[in-house]
Chains A and B, each alone.
Chain A
Protein backbone atom coordinates (compact mmCIF):
# COMPACT_ATOMS: atom_id res chain seq x y z
CA UNK A 1 0.00 0.00 0.00
CA UNK A 2 1.44 3.40 -0.91
CA UNK A 3 1.42 6.22 1.69
CA UNK A 4 -1.55 7.99 0.09
CA UNK A 5 -3.61 4.78 0.21
CA UNK A 6 -2.56 4.13 3.80
CA UNK A 7 -3.82 7.56 4.76
CA UNK A 8 -7.06 7.17 2.79
CA UNK A 9 -7.75 3.83 4.42
CA UNK A 10 -7.13 5.34 7.88
CA UNK A 11 -9.48 8.26 7.14
CA UNK A 12 -12.17 5.93 5.79
CA UNK A 13 -12.07 3.84 8.98
CA UNK A 14 -12.16 7.02 11.06
CA UNK A 15 -15.15 8.40 9.13
CA UNK A 16 -17.10 5.15 9.40
CA UNK A 17 -16.66 5.04 13.20
CA UNK A 18 -17.84 8.61 13.81
CA UNK A 19 -21.44 7.42 13.48
CA UNK A 20 -23.21 9.60 16.04
CA UNK A 21 -21.87 12.93 14.82
CA UNK A 22 -23.47 15.03 12.12
CA UNK A 23 -22.21 14.75 8.55
CA UNK A 24 -20.65 18.23 8.70
CA UNK A 25 -18.85 17.43 11.97
CA UNK A 26 -17.57 14.14 10.58
CA UNK A 27 -16.20 15.75 7.42
CA UNK A 28 -14.51 18.51 9.41
CA UNK A 29 -12.81 15.97 11.68
CA UNK A 30 -11.60 13.90 8.75
CA UNK A 31 -10.32 17.05 7.00
CA UNK A 32 -8.44 18.12 10.11
CA UNK A 33 -6.81 14.72 10.62
CA UNK A 34 -5.87 14.66 6.94
CA UNK A 35 -4.21 18.07 7.32
CA UNK A 36 -2.37 16.71 10.38
CA UNK A 37 -1.01 13.76 8.38
CA UNK A 38 0.02 15.97 5.45
CA UNK A 39 1.73 18.53 7.70
CA UNK A 40 3.48 15.85 9.76
CA UNK A 41 4.75 14.20 6.57
CA UNK A 42 6.67 17.41 5.82
CA UNK A 43 8.76 16.96 8.97
CA UNK A 44 12.19 15.37 8.41
CA UNK A 45 12.27 11.59 8.78
CA UNK A 46 8.49 11.19 9.02
CA UNK A 47 6.64 8.44 7.20
CA UNK A 48 2.88 8.13 6.87
CA UNK A 49 3.10 4.82 8.67
CA UNK A 50 4.73 6.29 11.80
CA UNK A 51 2.42 9.33 11.71
CA UNK A 52 -0.66 7.09 11.69
CA UNK A 53 0.83 4.91 14.43
CA UNK A 54 1.33 8.01 16.60
CA UNK A 55 -2.27 9.06 16.03
CA UNK A 56 -3.37 5.69 17.41
CA UNK A 57 -5.88 3.30 15.81
CA UNK A 58 -8.61 5.07 13.81
CA UNK A 59 -11.34 3.28 15.79
CA UNK A 60 -9.87 4.54 19.06
CA UNK A 61 -9.59 8.09 17.78
CA UNK A 62 -13.22 7.97 16.62
CA UNK A 63 -14.24 6.60 20.03
CA UNK A 64 -12.60 9.61 21.74
CA UNK A 65 -14.63 11.98 19.58
CA UNK A 66 -17.80 10.02 20.36
CA UNK A 67 -17.03 10.10 24.11
CA UNK A 68 -16.67 13.87 23.91
CA UNK A 69 -20.08 14.13 22.27
CA UNK A 70 -21.66 11.78 24.81
CA UNK A 71 -20.26 13.76 27.75
CA UNK A 72 -21.51 17.00 26.15
CA UNK A 73 -24.97 15.55 25.63
CA UNK A 74 -25.06 14.13 29.14
CA UNK A 75 -24.07 17.45 30.73
CA UNK A 76 -26.98 19.21 28.98
CA UNK A 77 -29.50 16.43 29.32
CA UNK A 78 -31.89 15.32 32.01
CA UNK A 79 -32.73 12.12 30.17
CA UNK A 80 -31.88 9.15 32.40
CA UNK A 81 -31.07 7.07 29.31
CA UNK A 82 -28.43 9.49 28.03
CA UNK A 83 -26.94 9.88 31.52
CA UNK A 84 -26.87 6.13 32.11
CA UNK A 85 -25.27 5.55 28.73
CA UNK A 86 -22.63 8.16 29.46
CA UNK A 87 -21.88 6.69 32.88
CA UNK A 88 -21.82 3.16 31.46
CA UNK A 89 -19.27 4.35 28.91
CA UNK A 90 -17.24 5.87 31.78
CA UNK A 91 -17.57 2.57 33.64
CA UNK A 92 -15.63 0.81 30.89
CA UNK A 93 -12.76 3.22 31.53
CA UNK A 94 -11.75 2.16 35.00
CA UNK A 95 -12.61 1.78 38.64
CA UNK A 96 -13.75 5.37 39.18
CA UNK A 97 -16.05 5.01 36.15
CA UNK A 98 -17.63 1.90 37.64
CA UNK A 99 -18.19 3.86 40.85
CA UNK A 100 -19.93 6.67 38.94
CA UNK A 101 -22.06 4.14 37.10
CA UNK A 102 -23.24 2.42 40.29
CA UNK A 103 -23.92 5.76 41.95
CA UNK A 104 -26.13 6.80 39.06
CA UNK A 105 -27.96 3.45 39.03
CA UNK A 106 -28.40 3.74 42.82
CA UNK A 107 -29.65 7.32 42.53
CA UNK A 108 -32.16 6.51 39.82
CA UNK A 109 -33.39 3.47 41.76
CA UNK A 110 -34.10 5.60 44.82
CA UNK A 111 -35.80 8.18 42.62
CA UNK A 112 -37.96 5.54 40.94
CA UNK A 113 -38.77 4.03 44.36
CA UNK A 114 -39.93 7.39 45.72
CA UNK A 115 -42.08 8.04 42.64
CA UNK A 116 -43.64 4.60 43.18
CA UNK A 117 -44.38 5.48 46.83
CA UNK A 118 -46.01 8.76 45.77
CA UNK A 119 -48.24 6.93 43.29
CA UNK A 120 -49.04 4.26 45.84
CA UNK A 121 -50.11 6.88 48.39
CA UNK A 122 -52.73 8.23 46.03
CA UNK A 123 -54.00 4.70 45.31
CA UNK A 124 -53.77 3.04 48.73
CA UNK A 125 -53.32 5.81 51.33
CA UNK A 126 -53.73 3.53 54.38
CA UNK A 127 -50.90 1.27 53.33
CA UNK A 128 -48.40 3.90 52.25
CA UNK A 129 -46.37 6.34 54.32
CA UNK A 130 -43.62 6.79 56.87
CA UNK A 131 -44.28 4.99 60.16
CA UNK A 132 -42.57 5.83 63.42
CA UNK A 133 -42.39 3.51 66.45
CA UNK A 134 -40.91 4.74 69.79
CA UNK A 135 -39.27 7.68 68.06
CA UNK A 136 -37.52 5.52 65.47
CA UNK A 137 -38.34 5.05 61.84
CA UNK A 138 -40.16 1.72 61.50
CA UNK A 139 -41.20 1.62 57.86
CA UNK A 140 -41.22 3.77 54.77
CA UNK A 141 -42.99 2.83 51.60
CA UNK A 142 -46.04 0.95 50.43
CA UNK A 143 -47.07 -2.27 52.20
CA UNK A 144 -49.55 -5.04 51.59
CA UNK A 145 -49.32 -6.56 55.07
CA UNK A 146 -50.43 -5.10 58.41
CA UNK A 147 -48.13 -2.56 59.95
CA UNK A 148 -46.52 -2.73 63.41
CA UNK A 149 -49.45 -2.02 65.81
CA UNK A 150 -47.67 0.61 67.95
CA UNK A 151 -46.26 2.50 65.04
CA UNK A 152 -48.06 5.54 63.69
CA UNK A 153 -47.88 7.14 60.33
CA UNK A 154 -46.45 10.65 60.41
CA UNK A 155 -46.43 12.14 56.97
CA UNK A 156 -49.93 11.59 55.66
CA UNK A 157 -50.42 13.11 52.23
CA UNK A 158 -47.22 15.11 52.73
CA UNK A 159 -45.36 12.05 51.51
CA UNK A 160 -46.42 12.82 47.95
CA UNK A 161 -44.87 16.27 48.18
CA UNK A 162 -41.77 14.94 49.98
CA UNK A 163 -41.12 12.27 47.38
CA UNK A 164 -41.71 14.74 44.59
CA UNK A 165 -39.13 17.10 46.11
CA UNK A 166 -36.80 14.27 47.17
Chain B
Protein backbone atom coordinates (compact mmCIF):
# COMPACT_ATOMS: atom_id res chain seq x y z
CA UNK B 1 0.00 0.00 0.00
CA UNK B 2 3.00 2.27 0.46
CA UNK B 3 3.36 1.92 -3.28
CA UNK B 4 -0.34 2.49 -3.82
CA UNK B 5 -0.30 5.66 -1.78
CA UNK B 6 2.23 7.12 -4.18
CA UNK B 7 -0.33 6.86 -6.98
CA UNK B 8 -2.78 9.70 -7.56
CA UNK B 9 -5.47 7.58 -5.94
CA UNK B 10 -8.19 10.20 -5.48
CA UNK B 11 -8.35 11.22 -9.16
CA UNK B 12 -7.63 7.84 -10.62
CA UNK B 13 -10.76 5.77 -10.05
CA UNK B 14 -9.49 2.37 -11.33
CA UNK B 15 -6.48 2.54 -8.99
CA UNK B 16 -8.65 3.49 -6.08
CA UNK B 17 -11.01 0.65 -6.91
CA UNK B 18 -8.10 -1.78 -7.05
CA UNK B 19 -6.82 -0.54 -3.69
CA UNK B 20 -10.28 -1.14 -2.16
CA UNK B 21 -10.39 -4.60 -3.70
CA UNK B 22 -7.02 -5.56 -2.24
CA UNK B 23 -8.02 -4.17 1.12
CA UNK B 24 -11.22 -6.21 1.07
CA UNK B 25 -9.31 -9.39 0.36
CA UNK B 26 -6.71 -8.77 3.05
CA UNK B 27 -8.77 -10.20 5.90
CA UNK B 28 -9.14 -13.52 4.10
CA UNK B 29 -5.47 -13.44 3.03
CA UNK B 30 -4.35 -12.91 6.64
CA UNK B 31 -6.40 -15.90 7.77
CA UNK B 32 -5.06 -17.99 4.87
CA UNK B 33 -1.44 -17.20 5.76
CA UNK B 34 -1.99 -18.99 9.10
CA UNK B 35 -3.46 -22.16 7.60
CA UNK B 36 -0.16 -24.07 7.94
CA UNK B 37 0.66 -22.88 11.43
CA UNK B 38 1.41 -19.93 13.69
CA UNK B 39 3.24 -16.83 12.43
CA UNK B 40 4.03 -13.39 13.85
CA UNK B 41 3.09 -10.11 12.18
CA UNK B 42 6.18 -9.55 10.07
CA UNK B 43 6.15 -13.20 8.93
CA UNK B 44 2.51 -12.79 7.84
CA UNK B 45 3.46 -9.68 5.85
CA UNK B 46 6.39 -11.46 4.15
CA UNK B 47 4.28 -14.56 3.55
CA UNK B 48 1.62 -12.48 1.79
CA UNK B 49 4.25 -10.68 -0.28
CA UNK B 50 5.76 -13.96 -1.42
CA UNK B 51 2.58 -15.94 -2.02
CA UNK B 52 0.25 -13.34 -3.45
CA UNK B 53 0.63 -10.17 -5.39
CA UNK B 54 -1.14 -8.20 -2.68
CA UNK B 55 0.84 -4.99 -2.29
CA UNK B 56 0.65 -4.37 1.39
CA UNK B 57 0.91 -1.25 3.53
CA UNK B 58 2.68 -2.95 6.39
CA UNK B 59 0.68 -1.02 8.97
CA UNK B 60 -2.66 -2.26 7.62
CA UNK B 61 -2.19 -5.87 8.66
CA UNK B 62 -1.88 -5.23 12.41
CA UNK B 63 -5.30 -3.64 13.01
CA UNK B 64 -6.82 -6.43 10.90
CA UNK B 65 -5.14 -9.12 13.04
CA UNK B 66 -6.36 -7.28 16.13
CA UNK B 67 -9.94 -7.33 14.86
CA UNK B 68 -9.82 -10.98 13.74
CA UNK B 69 -8.59 -11.88 17.21
CA UNK B 70 -11.39 -9.90 18.84
CA UNK B 71 -13.85 -11.80 16.64
CA UNK B 72 -12.44 -15.07 17.98
CA UNK B 73 -11.03 -16.22 14.62
CA UNK B 74 -7.43 -15.97 15.83
CA UNK B 75 -5.58 -16.44 19.08
CA UNK B 76 -2.23 -14.95 19.93
CA UNK B 77 0.63 -15.65 22.30
CA UNK B 78 3.83 -13.82 23.12
CA UNK B 79 6.91 -15.95 22.56
CA UNK B 80 10.41 -15.04 23.71
CA UNK B 81 12.87 -15.08 20.82
CA UNK B 82 16.64 -14.92 20.41
CA UNK B 83 16.11 -11.47 18.93
CA UNK B 84 15.97 -10.15 22.49
CA UNK B 85 12.32 -9.14 22.40
CA UNK B 86 9.19 -11.28 22.44
CA UNK B 87 7.08 -11.74 19.32
CA UNK B 88 3.33 -11.98 19.10
CA UNK B 89 2.39 -15.19 17.27
CA UNK B 90 -1.06 -15.68 15.78
CA UNK B 91 -2.84 -18.97 15.08
CA UNK B 92 -6.24 -19.84 13.65
CA UNK B 93 -8.90 -20.94 16.10
CA UNK B 94 -11.39 -23.65 15.13
CA UNK B 95 -13.89 -20.87 14.36
CA UNK B 96 -11.22 -19.22 12.22
CA UNK B 97 -10.69 -22.42 10.22
CA UNK B 98 -14.41 -22.82 9.66
CA UNK B 99 -14.76 -19.18 8.59
CA UNK B 100 -11.76 -19.38 6.25
CA UNK B 101 -13.16 -22.50 4.54
CA UNK B 102 -16.47 -20.69 3.97
CA UNK B 103 -14.66 -17.59 2.72
CA UNK B 104 -12.52 -19.67 0.34
CA UNK B 105 -15.61 -21.39 -1.10
CA UNK B 106 -17.47 -18.09 -1.50
CA UNK B 107 -14.42 -16.47 -3.07
CA UNK B 108 -13.90 -19.27 -5.60
CA UNK B 109 -17.56 -19.19 -6.49
CA UNK B 110 -17.47 -15.41 -6.88
CA UNK B 111 -14.31 -15.29 -8.96
CA UNK B 112 -15.45 -18.15 -11.26
CA UNK B 113 -18.67 -16.25 -11.94
CA UNK B 114 -16.84 -13.02 -12.63
CA UNK B 115 -14.25 -14.72 -14.85
CA UNK B 116 -17.02 -16.10 -17.05
CA UNK B 117 -18.53 -12.63 -17.21
CA UNK B 118 -15.20 -11.00 -18.04
CA UNK B 119 -13.92 -13.55 -20.58
CA UNK B 120 -15.44 -11.72 -23.58
CA UNK B 121 -14.03 -8.40 -22.33
CA UNK B 122 -10.52 -9.80 -22.08
CA UNK B 123 -10.77 -11.61 -25.44
CA UNK B 124 -11.74 -8.38 -27.13
CA UNK B 125 -8.78 -6.65 -25.55
CA UNK B 126 -6.41 -9.32 -26.85
CA UNK B 127 -7.71 -8.81 -30.38
CA UNK B 128 -7.18 -5.06 -30.11
CA UNK B 129 -3.59 -5.52 -29.01
Total interface residues in chain B, CB < 8 Å: 24
Q: What is the interface of chain B, defined by CB distance below 8 A to chain A? A: 1-2, 5, 20, 40-42, 57-60, 62-64, 66-67, 70-71, 83-88
Determine whether the beta carbon of A61 is less than 8 Å from that of B71: no
Q: Which residues of the other chain, A, contact B84 by a CB distance below 8 angstroms?
A: 38
Partner of A35, one of B60, B70, B87: B87
* Interface class of chain B by DSSP: helix
A32-B41, A36-B42 are known contacts. Are A42 and B59 too (CB-CB below 8 A)?
Answer: no
A29 within 8 A of B: yes
Q: Which residues of the other chain, A, contact B64 by a CB distance below 8 angstroms?
A: 68
Minimum CB–CB distance from B105 to chain A (whole Å) comes to 23
Determine whether the beta carbon of B62 is less than 8 Å from that of A61: yes
A39-B87, A54-B2 are known contacts. Are A71 and B42 too (CB-CB below 8 A)?
Answer: no
Q: Which residues of the other chain, A, contact B60 by a CB distance below 8 angstroms?
A: 56, 64
Q: What is the interface of chain A, defined by CB distance below 8 A to chain B? A: 28-29, 31-36, 38-40, 42, 51, 53-56, 60-61, 64-65, 67-69, 71-72, 94
Q: In the complex, A163→B2 CA distance in Å? A: 51
Q: In the complex, A35→B42 CA distance in Å? A: 9
Minimum CB–CB distance from B19 to chain A (whole Å) comes to 11
Determine whether the beta carbon of A35 is less than 8 Å from that of B40: yes
Q: Which residues of the other chain, B, contact A40 by a CB distance below 8 angstroms?
A: 42, 58
* Interface class of chain A by DSSP: helix
User: What are 25 of the A-B contact pairs (CB < 8 Å)?
Assistant: A31-B86, A31-B88, A32-B88, A33-B62, A34-B85, A35-B40, A35-B41, A35-B85, A36-B42, A36-B62, A51-B58, A53-B2, A54-B2, A55-B57, A55-B59, A56-B2, A56-B5, A56-B60, A61-B59, A61-B63, A64-B60, A65-B62, A68-B63, A68-B67, A72-B67
Determine whether the beta carbon of B83 is less than 8 Å from that of A32: no
Q: In the complex, A148→B129 CA distance in Å? A: 69
Which residue of B is nearest A64, CB measured?
Answer: B63
Q: Which residues of the other chain, A, contact B86 by a CB distance below 8 angstroms?
A: 31, 35
Given contacts A31-B88, A42-B83, 11 further A-B contacts (CB under 8 A): A28-B88, A32-B62, A32-B88, A36-B42, A39-B42, A55-B57, A56-B59, A61-B59, A64-B59, A68-B64, A72-B67
